[in-house]
Amino acid sequence: MGFFARIGNIWKGFLSLWVSDLETRNPEAVYEAAINERVQRHKDLKKAVSGIVYLRNKTSAELEEKEAALKEVMMQLPVAVEEGEDEVALLLIQRKDELTGEIESLSDELKKIHDQAEDAKNSLLAFQSEIEKLRRERDQMMAKKANAEARIQINETLDGLSTESDIKALDNVRTHVNKLQAEADIGTELKEGSLDAKLSRIREKAANSSARAQLEAMKKQTAAKRSQAAAASEAAKKSI
């Protein structure tokens, strides 16, 4: 291999790598290019199919015309024979043979064209289905790409966070909250141990004791009244 050929191969390799890298960086553009290329081929195939369909319709119309002419000849021939018009009958027979041959040829040709048209239409539909499939694949791949990129970004963000700093910040918050709670507890304990608090508890107990004494006295008075009422009732019954 010559020097320049080797240099050419190296440049081709570099170009191939560059194109490959460009394609992987722009996947949506690659899909769009592939779809557009297929759409153009679909248009070209559609034109070809329309030409075959036109030829089929034209051949079918010619066949119908020849069949109508043959039918007319077949109606005229018996009349010419019956009236003894031999020359006319001969011309009609020749015309009949010609039309019969043309009809057979057109029928064979129409069958072939019809088969070609059906195959072409099926190919057109299959090609259109392939384009739609490629579009769905593009949408799915772009969704996967976006999802993967989002996950990678989240992972990179999480990796960039300092776990030690987070733990230190949480410890500081916990310590501060516990100190506030301790301050509140000390205030409550001091308040409960003060003279005012003790005096207040004594007053509360004294008030409760006085209330209980009054309640007991009221209960005794009520019981005495009930006893007197019962005695009076019993005495009244005896006197009767």
Q: Report yes or no: 106 and 38 within 8 Å, Cβ to Cβ.
A: no
Residue 23: the pLDDT is: 46
Instruction: Please name the residues in contact with 9: beta carbons below 8 A apart, sequence gap of 6 or more.
Output: 1
What is d(CA 144, CA 77) in angstroms, rounded to the nearest whole number? Answer: 77
Instruction: Please name the residues in contact with 155: beta carbons below 8 A apart, sequence gap of 6 or more.
Output: none
Distances 76 to 40, 84, 95 between C-alpha atoms, Å: 54, 12, 11
Instruction: Please name the residues in contact with 55: beta carbons below 8 A apart, sequence gap of 6 or more.
Output: 113
Q: Report yes or no: 78 and 28 within 8 Å, Cβ to Cβ.
A: no
190 and 142 in one domain?
A: no
156 and 84 in one domain?
A: yes
**63-84 as b/e: b if 16+ CB within 10 A:** beebeebbeebeebbeebeeee
pTM for the whole thing? 0.43
Instruction: Please name the residues in contact with 107: beta carbons below 8 A apart, sequence gap of 6 or more.
Output: 63
Residue 210 structure tokens: 């006085």
Give the residue carrying structure tokens 């966070």.
161
Residue 19: the pLDDT is: 43
68 and 135 in one domain?
A: yes
Residue 64: the pLDDT is: 93
57 and 114 in one domain?
A: yes
209 and 129 in one domain?
A: no
Q: Report yes or no: 114 and 55 within 8 Å, Cβ to Cβ.
A: no
- Of 131, 161, 191, the residue at which a domain comes to its end is 161
Q: Report yes or no: 42 and 131 within 8 Å, Cβ to Cβ.
A: yes
150 and 54 in one domain?
A: yes
On whether residue 87 sits in a domain, the answer given is yes
On whether residue 206 sits in a domain, the answer given is yes
87 and 36 in one domain?
A: yes
What is d(CA 240, CA 236) in angstroms, rounded to the nearest whole number? Answer: 7
Residue 159: the pLDDT is: 65
On whether residue 166 sits in a domain, the answer given is no
Phi, psi (rounded to 5 degrees) for 84: 80, 20
Residue 194: the pLDDT is: 57
Residue ranges in the chain modelled with pLDDT below 50: 3-4, 7, 10-19, 22-23
Q: What DSSP designation does 1 have? A: -
- Of 161, 191, 216, the residue at which a domain comes to its end is 161
On whether residue 129 sits in a domain, the answer given is yes
On whether residue 167 sits in a domain, the answer given is no
105 and 74 in one domain?
A: yes
On whether residue 57 sits in a domain, the answer given is yes
On whether residue 155 sits in a domain, the answer given is yes
On whether residue 65 sits in a domain, the answer given is yes
What is d(CA 1, CA 8) in angstroms, rounded to the nearest whole number? Answer: 11
124 and 64 in one domain?
A: yes
Domain with residue 76: its CATH number is 1.10.287
178 and 156 in one domain?
A: no
- Of 129, 161, 193, the residue at which a domain comes to its end is 161
225 and 119 in one domain?
A: no
Least Cα distance to 64 among 75, 56, 54, 53 occurs for 56
Domain limits for position 60: 3-161
DSSP characters for 120-176? HHHHHHHHHHHHHHHHHHHHHHHHHHHHHHHHHHHHHHHHHS-HHHHHHHHHHHHHH
Distances 25 to 11, 145, 167 between C-alpha atoms, Å: 21, 11, 39
Number of domains in the chain: 2
27 and 106 in one domain?
A: yes
